[in-house]
Amino acid sequence: MISHITWRGIVAAFTLALSLGLAHAEPDEARKKEIMAAFEAAQAAAVAGPSDIKLAGQAVLKLPAGMAYVPQPAAGRLMQALGNGADSSLLGLVRGTGDNHWLVVARYEPSGYIKDDDAKDWNVDDLFKSLKDGTEAGNKERQKMGFPPLEIVGWVQKPSYDAAAHRLVWSMAARTPGESEADQSINYNTYALGREGYVSLNLISSRGDIEHDKPAAHALLSALNFNDGKRYSDFNASTDKMAEYGIAALVAGVAAKKLGLFAVILAFAAKFFKIILVAGAGLLAVVGKFFKRKEEA
């Protein structure tokens, strides 16, 4: 079960940060109430592991113990309360319980069957340049919205594709001006390809916490299995839809621009709680928030 104190602490710190002018605009009372209500709804809807979570009629996530899953519509309400727009691909949110304070955003994209043959000879330097260029273009939109620029720092994990399991993992660090290395924002991206599209499980963390948190992302990816008839190997070239892009686009390109690099960020550290604003790569960047709060005495 998600801690009531933890969720209320997040809301209180988020509201305080906004009222102190650390965010783009001070919220009105209606906004504050909606943030609180969204967290309460997420808490009430959370399903604790171990449990089988059905995902969009495509797959089943065998949620391990020590994790909790927030389904729709509570997940979407929380994301929007914290600044994201509506996202039709959002399935839900997974977070650690107890001392595990990471967050994973689960999405399903009905892209069609994605050919993976380009993974055999992709150039990670080219992929990095594409992401960097996309982020710089996105910074123009950030500036219009009054947010600081975002700089791509480097790979946390270079793109790695398991052709047998049809699983993709990649991650990079990004920072805003004056941000310390430990606080650099991390999206640890994992994907499972299916016959009709893919499920993404995006772990939100920080540079200082990623080594501790990333095993959770791998555990979730391993716990996800497509249903019979929906697996990658079930593809029928004569009847099935083909995606308009290959697997490299899930790292940089069409899919990255469409989905955005960063989602709402909820990551926690041991002692202090602060808010920074992070927008994603590409023209459809998503505003995110990274939280840290002071421990209770």
196 domain-assigned: yes
Domain membership of residue 256 as a residue range: 4-98+105-291
Does residue 245 fall inside a structural domain?
yes
Is the model's pLDDT at 239 over the cut of 90? yes
Task: Check whether 287 has a pLDDT greater than 70.
Answer: no
In the prediction, which pLDDT does 64 show?
94
Residue with the larger pLDDT of the pair 263 and 120? 120
For the chain, the DSSP string reads: ---HHHHHHHHHHHHHHHHTT-SSS---HHHHHHHHHHHHHHHHH-EESSEEEEETTTEEEEEPTTEEEEETTHHHHHHHHTT----TTEEEEEEE-TT---EEEEEEE---BPP-GGGGS--HHHHHHHHHHHHHHHHHHHHHHTPPP-EEEEEEEEEEEETTTTEEEEEEEEE-TT--STT-EEEEEEEEEBSS-EEEEEEEEETTTHHHHHHHHHHHHHTEEEPTTTBGGG--TTTSPBPSS-GGGGTSSHHHHHH-S--------SS---EEEEE-SSTT--EEEEE--PPP-
C-alpha 187/C-alpha 277 separation (Å) is: 14
DSSP lists the bridge partners of residue 169 as 160, 190
**In CATH, what number is assigned to the domain containing residue 10?**
3.40.1000.10
Higher pLDDT residue, 285 or 177?
Answer: 177
- Provide the domain count of the chain: 1
CB 13 within 8 A of CB 291: yes
Is the C-alpha dihedral spanning 193, 198, 201, 202 positive or negative?
A: positive
Domain annotation covers residue 271 = yes
The span from the CA of 157 to the CA of 7, in Å, is: 30
0.85 exceeded by pTM: no
- φ, ψ of residue 90 to 5 degrees: the values are -70, 125
Reported as a single tens digit per residue, the pLDDT across 147-190 is: 678 788 888 999 999 999 999 999 988 787 887 887 777 889 99
Say how far residue 264 (Cα) sits from the centre of its chain: 7
The confidence score (pLDDT) of residue 145 equals: 62
Q: Is residue 278 part of a domain?
A: yes
What is the number of other CB atoms lying within 10 angstroms of the CB of residue 33? 13
Inside any domain, residue 296:
no
Q: Could you tell me if residue 94 is inside a domain?
A: yes
Instruction: Give the residue among 125, 280, 97 at the shortest CA–CA distance from 187.
Output: 280
Note the pLDDT tens digit of each residue in 65-102: 999 999 999 999 988 877 666 789 999 999 887 767 78
Is residue 297 assigned to a domain? no
pLDDT at 63 over 70: yes
